[in-house]
Amino acid sequence: MSIPTPHIAATSPDEIANTVLMPGDPLRAKFVAETYFEDAKQFNHVRGMLGYTGYYKGKRVSVMGSGMGMPSAMIYFHELFAFYEVETIIRIGSAGAMQPFVKLHDLILATASNTDSNINHGLFGAYAFCPTPDFELLLKAWETGKKMGLSMHAGTVCCSDQFYRELPEDVTKRLMQYGALGAEMESAGLYMTARKLGKRALAMFTVSDSLITKEADTAEARQTGYRQMMELALEIAPE
């Protein structure tokens, strides 16, 4: 495949930085660019999936939406890694808390991604492959976040293909018993794509709602309110 790709309008890899931050919401990408970037330039608008490249504290970084769920996001992960020479993708998403000690607006760093998706079905025989992030990037995020005084948790997340899926109560309880911190919809696809192509990836999430307390943020808060996560991702983004 040549560039521009069917889903990204950039005509050269030079339009996109080596590191791309990726929220699901393209308006969150726009917010990051307008709030934190100097000399921001838009490189994508196809299907409304906005993407920008600019400078954060002198460091060149890009940000782009991915849409919701692995089927959408993996298109962008693959095209950025495979055709635009992107080396690192940092997901900046939202998640639902699955533990009582994980509070609204806490950050979760996904050390591994359990999934009910068929994305790795049949690839590894009898093994249930559990994709993981780049360890150095994970460690840097943890150490930097602690220095910033952020309330963070590192552990496994549950990545589902369906937002409105109702798991059997015993399955949900077992996932919680075995330490799953949060529920979301993209990290397994990101980690699988990065591992396959030899790239770097990390998924971090702001807790937007809780399966325990039933609290939930508004749509506006999800779009513009998660600045601690945005700033952490920008601070650790490799050049």
Residue 221's pLDDT band (boundaries 50, 70, 90)? confident
Give residue for tokens 């039933």. 214
| Cβ 88 vs Cβ 74: under 8 Å | no
Residue 225's pLDDT band (boundaries 50, 70, 90)? low
Q: Is residue 224 part of a domain?
A: yes
Q: What pLDDT shows up at residue 224?
A: 67
Q: DSSP string covering 120-158, please? A: TTTTSTT--------HHHHHHHHHHHHHTT--EEEEEEE
Q: Is residue 8 part of a domain?
A: no
Q: Is residue 3 part of a domain?
A: no
Q: Is the pLDDT of residue 188 over 70?
A: yes
pLDDT tens, residue by residue, 72-88 = 999 999 999 999 999 99
Q: Is residue 7 part of a domain?
A: no
Q: Is residue 6 part of a domain?
A: no
Q: What is the pTM of this model?
A: 0.95
Q: Is the pLDDT of residue 141 over 80?
A: yes
Q: Is residue 183 part of a domain?
A: yes
Long-range contacts of 23-26 (CB under 8 A, 24+ apart): 23/63, 23/65, 23/66, 23/91, 23/92, 23/93, 24/65, 24/66, 24/67, 24/68, 24/73, 24/93, 24/94, 24/185, 24/186, 25/65, 25/222, 25/223, 26/50, 26/64, 26/65
Give residue for tokens 């930085």. 17
Q: Is residue 128 part of a domain?
A: yes
Residue 102's DSSP bridge partners are none
CATH of the domain at 23: 3.40.50.1580
Which residue range is the domain that position 184 belongs to?
13-236
Q: What pLDDT shows up at residue 15?
A: 98
The residues annotated with a catalytic role in the active site are 209
Domain count, the chain: 1
Q: Is residue 4 part of a domain?
A: no
pLDDT tens, residue by residue, 154-180 = 999 999 988 887 778 888 899 999 999
